Amino acid sequence: IMNLSLKWLHDFTNTDSISTKEYCDRMTDTGSKVEGYEVLGEDISNVIVAKVLKMERHPNSDHLWICQVDIGKEVTQIVTGAQNVKVGAYVPAALHKSLLPNGTKITKGKLRGVPSNGMMCSLSELKLTLGDFPYAEEDGIFLIEEPGIEAGMAIPEAIGYNDTSVEFEITPNRPDCLSVVGLAREAAATFHIPLRLPSEEVKGCGDDVNKYLSVSVENAELCKRYSARIVKNVKIGPSPRWIRERLRASGVRPINNIVDITNYVMLEYGQPMHAFDLEYVKDGKIIVRNAKEGEVLTTLEGVEHALSPEMLVIADAEKPSAVAGVMGGEYSGINENTHTIVFESANFFGPSVR
């Protein structure tokens, strides 16, 4: 399965004038089978950006707030029990006769006798997570801090939740189509439109990578090529919003800037990558070898796996740190204290990975 963001596709070929249905039908006709498509944000109706202008305590409650909010064309009143709302904040407001992604319908009413013309929304009520908007609060109203937002904007537009994701069923003989570039090439051929591929340029800072790292491939049949680069002085944090949007549309959960960029490259080019924290690469040695009898590896999800000699692993001077092409180990992963990264890009023998 490949979930394709149509916004991302437009980086490489222009299908703007082609309707989504025609795109899906024609791509299926030419061999790229579409299972379906989803318009992100389509399940959100009449939820807009509201700016909080004034707040006062509810006369009949010690935790409710009566808020006057600007919704673009007018000022309206919404009562909320959230304690993180503040004057000047932009919030998602589900107005009268609105629809939330979980199917909940919101109407105006009264809370403790005071009229409320809608409801302020949290991240979860919009089917979003902290991975999508790391600055938000998990518990409480989503205080929107996106550039260029204005009162009255529809929420999908304001937060970039307005892409279309097309789900392809990719057959085993077309692994090139497990990428945005591959599907862009198919679209260009199908619709007789130009294909725009970026030119890649790799730049280094001039330092010698051999001072930090050595790579040894002991099984060249299962690993045809292994390349690695080092990036120093890294600060772990959230990815830019445009990367988070594209990952979300592709069905991938944003995590942090380093993990996200490896997933981003994999989705764009079809080349899987992995990132190691150099601090956990013992003696700065990467050894691509078969596992030894009795070796174990605790993978990123915290599960301990017994390894067998037919498995290919990425090891350091002491122990395995990843199963090649499958999953990284818990102790090689990226964390908030990581500052020097090893990026791996390799070609492993497919049947071994499978």
Reference 347, options 288, 281, 290; nearest CA is 288
Closest by CA position to 237, among listed 336, 128, 129, 138: 336
CA atoms of 144 and 101, how far apart (whole Å): 18
Those residues whose C-beta lies under 8 Å from the C-beta of residue 251, and which sit 6 or more positions away, are 3, 165
pLDDT digits 0-9 by tens, 269-318: 999 999 999 998 999 999 999 999 999 999 888 899 999 999 999 999 99
Closest CA to 42 of 143, 135, 137, 127: 127
Instruction: Classify the C-alpha dihedral 225-230-236-242 as positive or negative.
Output: negative
Q: How far apart are CA 65 and CA 60, in angstroms?
A: 10
* Phi/psi at 109 (5° precision): -170, -155
Per-residue pLDDT tens over the stretch 53-108: 999 999 999 899 999 999 999 999 999 999 999 999 999 999 999 999 989 999 99
Contact 23, 14 (CB under 8 A): no
Instruction: Quick: pLDDT tens for 170-197.
Output: 998 999 999 999 999 999 999 999 999 9
CB atoms within 10 A of CB 203: 5
- CB contact at 8 A, 78 and 93: yes
Please say if the pLDDT value at position 343 is more than 90: yes
Residue 12 near residue 170, CB atoms below 8 Å: no
User: What spatial distance separates the first Cα and last Cα of the chain, rounded to whole Å?
Assistant: 16
